Chains A and B, each alone.
Chain A
């Protein structure tokens, strides 16, 4: 009897761990967008979470109102988010190139509220029920005692593929190397003939396309869609990016998974109300102990 209970506790733990990794995969995809933009444009795009929300609405409207194939809807949503991200960069952030980081940060928060309120105005305050676009058989383990949902499998696979693709893109392609150069020294990059503004715009385009993917993964697992859907996951993904070392692509992946697991385990074993507080406590501890994060490089600024 006792051993059976220990057994089921272990199984619950494994299930929780799997949900944690699944949630972490979503955070990782969001954090990859955050970290790319921070690494290259050196700014925190706090509107990133809200681009996720916009992307989810695009998929929702296309699939429910226009009957578009969900995968086609995802592609359209990626294009829409790319255009949105580039528009935000062009009109809100580019005029502030060279301005103080605080001015850029406040603008990003402004853009975030703008998107949330525009969405509320357009789609109403009533949360929508998002239908998962991922539909295949869940994986059953241990005689059906552990079930890995199809969303979980896809989330984990997608986040790993995106991480590898981004790493290859940045290190192996010409625009990727331009990104590394801009990230380190914009002036010197320009002296090499690199179009700095174009490179930053490309970074926003990629980050925003990832946001569309993240939105679909998020809403397929947690199906309530409202104008604030992207806000909290956006901020938690930011915590994940800082934890992993902001600017680092594998760091965003690791940070995302750790935050997802901490959140789910905290919710299950400590307190469901406290789960968010635990996540942010992690941020505070990281900032105190290792401000550069797990994989962050220590920057020695030369004067």
Chain B
């Protein structure tokens, strides 16, 4: 059984049908990329999974439980974290306070300390700046904080929305390396990206989303050589 299974998902924005019956699955340990153009509905799908937007129809099964019927604030403690588009860190709070909020649902102090240590090891910059107000961090540091904050809940699966957005090519590579490391340490990753080349380079499998439908899916190494994908998303 897949860890996360989306079936015939439909989502409306007012009268607009944003997602028109999407199905896909994410198995434990995988990195799955969801690629597609602006407005294809990638972010909408992630928002629906974590309950920021209600689903119109269809089901989202996570570890055997139906997420569309789960109160959104209970999803984190089930083992799912979401690094939202635009990072959405708490700008007015310090780096450490942001990380503490990431562990909001966890009660064990010792576990909190060990997770914090792990996050600081992965992102040494966050430890250096732990008392700094998050809004004053650079774009790359904010992305690291958003990822660190998500890791603080010790998720089984982490949803990442456009982690490369607004970052320099060098930083993009760094962020993708970190995603790979996070995955290797046992966390499943569902990655939404406009940077299809980068996403396909680290993903196991991928789905191509076109105006609310999945148009193509397969192993990432096959898709990266697919002519239509090359033309539409890789700029070749």
CB distance from B188 to the nearest CB of A (A): 17
Q: Which of A180, A190, A195, A297 has the most CB of B within 10 A?
A: A190
Q: Knowing A188-B88, A193-B73, A193-B104 touch, does A180 contact B82 (C-beta < 8 A)?
A: no
User: Which residues in B have their C-beta under 8 angstroms from that of A297?
Assistant: 92
User: Which residues in A have their C-beta under 8 angstroms from that of B84?
Assistant: 187-188, 191
CB distance from B59 to the nearest CB of A (A): 21
CB distance from A35 to the nearest CB of B (A): 16
CB distance from B116 to the nearest CB of A (A): 15
CB distance from B6 to the nearest CB of A (A): 18
Q: A137 at the A/B interface (Cβ < 8 Å)?
A: no
A188 to B134, CA, bound (A): 14
CB–CB B90/A193 < 8 A: no
Q: Which of B74, B90, B149, B153 has the most CB of A within 10 A?
A: B90
Classify the interface of chain A: helix, strand, loop or mixed: helix
Q: Knowing A174-B104, A177-B100, A178-B104 touch, does A188 contact B74 (C-beta < 8 A)?
A: no
Q: Which residue of B lies closest to A189 (CB)?
A: B101
CB–CB A187/B90 < 8 A: no
Give a binary string over A56-97; 1 marks a CB under 8 Å from any B CB, 0 the rest. Answer: 000000000000000000000000000000000000000000
Q: A148 at the A/B interface (Cβ < 8 Å)?
A: no
A203 to B16, CA, bound (A): 35
A174 to B104, CA, bound (A): 8
CB distance from B111 to the nearest CB of A (A): 15
CB–CB B86/A193 < 8 A: no
CB–CB A184/B91 < 8 A: yes
User: Which residues in B have their C-beta under 8 angstroms from that of A190?
Assistant: 50-52, 72-73
Q: Which residue of A lies closest to B101 (CB)?
A: A192
User: Which residues in A have their C-beta under 8 angstroms from that of B50?
Assistant: 190-191
* Chain B residues touching A, range: 20 to 34
CB distance from B101 to the nearest CB of A (A): 5
Cross-interface CB contact of A184 among B51, B73, B74, B90, cutoff 8 Å: B90
CB–CB B105/A191 < 8 A: no
A279 to B177, CA, bound (A): 59
A223 to B73, CA, bound (A): 46
Total chain A interface residues with beta-carbon distance under 8 A = 19
A149 to B105, CA, bound (A): 48
Q: A196 at the A/B interface (Cβ < 8 Å)?
A: yes
CB–CB A192/B88 < 8 A: no
Q: B76 at the A/B interface (Cβ < 8 Å)?
A: yes
Q: B2 at the A/B interface (Cβ < 8 Å)?
A: no
CB–CB B73/A196 < 8 A: yes
Give a binary string over B85-111; 1 marks a CB under 8 Å from any A CB, 0 the rest. Answer: 010111111000100111011000000
CB–CB B153/A184 < 8 A: no
Q: B75 at the A/B interface (Cβ < 8 Å)?
A: yes
CB–CB A180/B90 < 8 A: yes
Q: A302 at the A/B interface (Cβ < 8 Å)?
A: yes
Cross-interface CB contact of B104 among A184, A185, A187, A192, cutoff 8 Å: A192
User: Which residues in B have their C-beta under 8 angstroms from that of A185?
Assistant: 88, 90
CB–CB A193/B75 < 8 A: yes
CB–CB A193/B97 < 8 A: no
CB distance from A220 to the nearest CB of B (A): 37
CB–CB B88/A193 < 8 A: no
Q: B77 at the A/B interface (Cβ < 8 Å)?
A: yes
User: Which residues in B have their C-beta under 8 angstroms from that of A174?
Assistant: 104
CB distance from B166 to the nearest CB of A (A): 11
Query: Which residues of A approach B to under 8 Å, CB–CB?
Result: 174, 177-178, 180-181, 184-185, 187-196, 297, 302
A-B contact pairs, 12 of them (CB 8 A): A174-B104, A177-B100, A178-B101, A178-B104, A180-B92, A184-B93, A185-B88, A188-B88, A190-B72, A191-B81, A193-B75, A196-B73
The 9 closest A-B pairs by CB, nearest first: A193-B76, A193-B105, A188-B88, A195-B73, A192-B104, A192-B101, A191-B82, A184-B90, A193-B104
Given contacts A191-B82, A192-B102, A192-B105, 20 further A-B contacts (CB under 8 A): A174-B104, A177-B100, A180-B90, A181-B93, A181-B104, A184-B92, A185-B88, A187-B52, A188-B88, A189-B101, A190-B51, A191-B50, A191-B52, A191-B76, A192-B76, A193-B73, A193-B75, A194-B101, A194-B104, A196-B73
